């Protein structure tokens, strides 16, 4: 079976199991970011500012928010003193350029996550002036934030019919158990 780029994020070592914390973080964070970015690339430019309701975010807001916080938290990991951080750049207006930036930031995170030692994950940090955190907290923050933004975007993606026109069919576990019991699970 050939491995796609998306699968290489989900299984960075080429197996179905993660060998360590670093690979698990790459799989979760970079896998979601990669899938979100590829879906954003499928969204026509004229729909980047579409929302089903003024209370709901647009694809542009979700992409920009994700990208800017990835940069911010990466700076906190690499430099504990927030006064030494660069200001976060404004997001590109062009959707293709925004996707390129998000993909590049995902690659930076993959490199960073694979380089960290267990001791570095435990290194103390603070977010701006909020103390008592460590590098692992920032990684967890980005995983939570990125999954949340990806989920919000996926709802927009589905609502626009970009993932098919059939009614949504959630893969609940009990039918899978039944297939297993019936011997029809392959």
All structural domains of the chain, each given as residue ranges with its CATH number in brackets, are 5-182 (1.20.120.450)
Average pLDDT over residues 106-127: 97
Half-sphere exposure of 115 (CA within 13 A, CB side): 9
Cβ contacts of 130-138, under 8 Å, gap ≥ 24: 135/77, 138/73, 138/76, 138/77
**5 or 102: whose pLDDT is higher?**
102
Rounded to whole angstroms, how far apart are CA atoms 16 and 38?
A: 22
Average pLDDT over residues 98-104: 98
pLDDT of residue 19: 85
pTM: 0.88
Q: What is the mean pLDDT of the chain?
A: 91
**128-167 exposure pattern, b = at least 16 Cβ within 10 A, e = fewer:** eeeeebbbbbbbbbbbebbbebbebbbebbeeeeeeeeee
The predicted-structure confidence for 56-98, as pLDDT tens digits, reads as follows: 999 999 999 999 999 999 999 999 999 999 999 999 999 999 9
Cβ atoms within 10 Å, residue 109: 23
Q: Is residue 156 a contact partner of residue 163, using CB atoms and an 8 Å limit?
A: no
% of the chain at pLDDT higher than 70: 91
In this structure, is the dihedral angle defined by the CA atoms of residues 31, 119, 104 and 60, taken in order, positive or negative? positive
């Amino acid at each position: 079976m050939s491995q796609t780029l998306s699968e290489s994020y989900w299984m960075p070592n080429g197996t179905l199991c993660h060998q360590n914390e670093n690979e698990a973080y790459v799989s979760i964070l970079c896998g979601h970011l990669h899938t979100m970015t590829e879906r954003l690339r499928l969204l026509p430019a004229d729909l980047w500012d579409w929302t089903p309701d003024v209370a709901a975010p647009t694809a542009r807001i979700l992409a920009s928010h994700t990208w800017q916080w990835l940069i911010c938290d990466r700076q906190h990991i690499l430099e504990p003193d927030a006064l030494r951080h660069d200001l976060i750049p404004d997001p590109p207006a062009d959707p293709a350029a925004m996707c390129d930036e998000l993909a590049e930031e995902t690659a930076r995170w993959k490199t960073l996550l694979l380089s960290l030692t267990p001791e570095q994950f435990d290194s103390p940090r603070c977010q701006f002036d909020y103390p008592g955190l460590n590098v692992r907290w920032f990684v967890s923050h980005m995983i939570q934030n990125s999954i949340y933004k990806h989920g919000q975007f996926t709802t927009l993606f589905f609502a626009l019919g970009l993932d098919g026109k059939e009614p949504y069919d959630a893969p609940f576990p009990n039918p899978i158990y039944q297939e297993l019991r019936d011997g029809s699970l392959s």
